[in-house]
Structure 1
Amino acid sequence: MKQIAEQYKRELLDNVLPFWTAHSRDEENGGFFTCLDRQGKVFDTDKFMWLQGREVWMFSMLYDKVEPRREWKDMALLGAKFMEQHGRDAEGNWYFSTTREGRPLIQPYNIFSDCFAAMGFGALYKIEENPVYHTIAKDTFENILRRRNDPKGKYTKNVPGTRSLKNFALPMILCNLSLELEHILGSEKVNEFIPEVLGEVMDVFYHKETGLVLENVLADGSFSDSFEGRLLNPGHAIEAMWFIMDLALRLNDPALAQKACNIGLKMLEYGWDQQYGGIFYFMDLHNHPQQQLEWDQKLWWVHLETLVFLAKGWQLTGNEACRTWFDKVHTYTWEHFKDKEYPEWFGYLNRQGQPLLPLKGGKWKGCFHVPRALYQVWQTLEKKPSFHSQAVIV
């Protein structure tokens, strides 16, 4: 596995990161361009706050964890300055998008802009102890908690009281975000918070009858037999399980790590396309026709987050299924998503595994899932095994 770890390391440092440092900087207005074509040319200049925050986090984290390269810190500071100046409304909510110059375009309907702003400024504070960054991260996190039960607020399209659903994505992200911000929030607050988000992810959204993880449940946690209630997103569930394994490591809870590993493997087996390979984007719990027309596409982040999950599952539990699946998903991912001619990776494939779009970044794809996964797999495979040396393999 050392050779594979080196492969991920080299791809991160020699291919993917240079692409973003060379092409995403907006030297004139600050912040980052994310709409980049196959060769890195900017094809749209709108700026999306959640992607700005993600890129600030990425370069801050790399500066902190890998090497204190000045260019990485400069990238993080460039994005943070733009976000601080242009990213929020009067109530402190983060816009979804702005113009190149920073004029608001789309209202702060999407709480994930706030999640990644908090994550970005929290990571930046580790490498540049500016109290402003600490305050932004803390205030944003507290605002997320205030909004969490009604994240879209006045921007929601749903009629109140008819079919009130809650979504898996926010508690899933909070599992990771709480650890990312522990130096901001304090260990005591994180310790109080962890059981709540763990309960949401591992009990409320976990569908015991099938062993799968639902994307939406009714407000009381029960199943909704509707398009939204039957919706499965294998990538989301699998990504969440490596977040849970990180929490298990922090809590020294090998049973929790094993449970997360088992759930993630179940989702992967269910979501794998037996005909063409790769993992479906969306599925229906009862195999009914789906409302998402892109249900059978193969997306970059789904496969990369699965590789992180499998690496952590193998490292923490020693489950041989993780190693077998890692080899299978690794082969598919590197054969289909990695661009053999130009840097960075394709994001969107059709069911057969052919690129649908030549872009390397856009409204939804930025400097995040590819480099984070490369970093995580590299780091994980270089570590010595953890829990499974304590004889918890099942």
Structure 2
Amino acid sequence: MNSQLYKNSLLKDIIPFWERHSLDKDHGGYFTCLDREGKVYDTDKFIWLQGRQAWMFSFLYNKVEQKQSWLEIAKSGVDFLKNKAMDSNGNFYFSTTREGRPLVQPYNIFSDCFAAMAFGQYAKASGDGEIRELARKTYFNILQKSNNPKGKYEKSTGERPLKSFSLPMILSNLVLELEEVLTSEEVESTIDKSIDEVMNVFLQRDKALVLENLNPDGSFNNSFEGRLINPGHGIEAMWFMVDIATRRNDKKLIDEATGVVLSILENSWDWEFGGIFYFLDIKGNPPQQLEWDQKLWWVHLETLVALAKAYQYTGRKDVWDWYEKVHDYAWKHFADPINGEWLGYLNRRGEVNLNLKGGKWKGCFHVPRAMFQCWKSFEAIEAKR
């Protein structure tokens, strides 16, 4: 049974791996740079990954079981974020030393987004009013910065202003995470804006593909950045849309999002070696990213979530066929039954490129979140049967 596979993997493999290897018991927060066996190979702390892991353990406490140890692990990350990761204006650094001395300035709004998510879930788990207020404050700080996320750290000259897909995509998920700290008007208006941006602006309806960057007026920009497709991003955004559609009982949006997932897969699947390409150019030109043809863990996991949810609500055979294809590739190439957790980076042929379990970009987030989401989708599918 698929639900059992994902549940067991989450609770007996993935989470125990992070519990065993990632906790910094001396300075709080988490080590994310873990080798194949789980040994720490670098102690710097990347703030968006601190937020993601604090969110994950709070989420497990809220959704799976109220285990005191999970709440304590979450608190360790939340305390580190609150006490060491913020500048005096409430912006979050990109990285710090192990002890929490700032290394890289707050140029990246994603640190703020995942801190807000962590605060929201932890406030719900702990009932901590101060953290609840911090979640709310951080959310409004993100909205304030949304037109110029990097602020004074923006390196472009402004000659070619582009708006990025990342923010509307992440807000469509973040706002549901913070539902309990925001008013219903705030939640609904952000959802409306997110649906509009994702489905009517960044989604190119003629091709059913999602662009990463557009001109400020929403028109196409014929440059490397303007032609860029990130298949994993587009697919992840579609399962956020399915969650919103379910909440609003909007069958049309579920069907549209499902169609986009399948279109992205048709265009980004490597028909020679299997797996999903990391980056593509919408016109078929060479992308500027040299790693464009690598196969990454998170892209395949987000796709499994999207397909499981799409199948749960549509029951379509073509969705199931794709699910099986992606499932077979992902479990065969990324899962590491010997050492636990999943590998992250493969070359085009599916061979291990970096044998790490965590680093600057991979932490305790995509794997456990996907295991949880797939477990719950398959539980619902099996219950229907």
TM-score by length of 1: 0.96
- Matches of 1:211 and 1:260 in 2, distance apart? 10
Q: Which amino acid aligns with 1:205?
A: F
For 2:315, the equivalent position in structure 1 comes to 318
**1:166-217 deviations in whole A, cap 9, x for unaligned?**
1111110100001010001122211122111111000110112222100100
For 1:362, the equivalent position in structure 2 comes to 359
Q: Which amino acid aligns with 1:211?
A: A
For 1:218, the equivalent position in structure 2 comes to 215
Following superposition, the deviation at residue 53 of structure 1 comes to 0.5
Gaps of 5+ in 1: 390-394
Following superposition, the deviation at residue 319 of structure 1 comes to 1.8
Corresponding position: 1:147 with 2:150:
no
Contact 1:316–1:385 under 8 Å retained in 2: no
Contact 1:60–1:124 under 8 Å retained in 2: yes
Aligned ranges for residues 152-301 of structure 1 at < 5 Å?
Answer: 152-160=150-158, 162-301=159-298
Q: Which amino acid aligns with 1:240?
A: A
**1:195-251 deviations in whole A, cap 9, x for unaligned?**
111110001101122221001001111000000000000000000000000000111
SS at match of 1:183: coil
Aligned ranges for residues 79-158 of structure 1 at < 5 Å?
Answer: 79-158=77-156
Contact 2:172–2:190 under 8 Å retained in 1: no
For 1:76, the equivalent position in structure 2 comes to 74
SS at match of 1:184: coil
Contact 2:112–2:142 under 8 Å retained in 1: yes
Corresponding position: 1:12 with 2:47:
no
Contact 2:56–2:365 under 8 Å retained in 1: yes
Contact 1:315–1:385 under 8 Å retained in 2: no
TM-score by length of 2: 0.98
SS at match of 1:56: helix
Corresponding position: 1:351 with 2:343:
no
SS at match of 1:149: coil
The count of corresponding residues between Structure 1 and Structure 2 is: 385
- Matches of 1:135 and 1:154 in 2, distance apart? 26
- Matches of 2:359 and 2:166 in 1, distance apart? 21
SS at match of 2:124: helix
Following superposition, the deviation at residue 384 of structure 1 comes to 4.7
For 1:54, the equivalent position in structure 2 comes to 52
- Matches of 1:71 and 1:199 in 2, distance apart? 41
SS at match of 1:43: strand
- Matches of 1:7 and 1:345 in 2, distance apart? 14
For 1:306, the equivalent position in structure 2 comes to 303
Q: Which amino acid aligns with 2:235?
A: I
- Matches of 1:85 and 1:97 in 2, distance apart? 14
- Matches of 1:147 and 1:385 in 2, distance apart? 43
Are residues 95 and 365 of structure 1, via their aligned partners in 2, closer, same or farther at CA, if it must alter by over 3 Å? same
User: In angstroms, what is the RMSD of aligned CA positions?
Assistant: 1.3
SS at match of 1:61: helix
| Residue identity (%) | 56
SS at match of 2:353: coil
- Matches of 1:187 and 1:179 in 2, distance apart? 10
- Matches of 2:203 and 2:146 in 1, distance apart? 19
Q: Which amino acid aligns with 1:258?
A: D
Q: Which amino acid aligns with 1:124?
A: Y
Gaps of 5+ in 2: none
Contact 2:24–2:30 under 8 Å retained in 1: yes
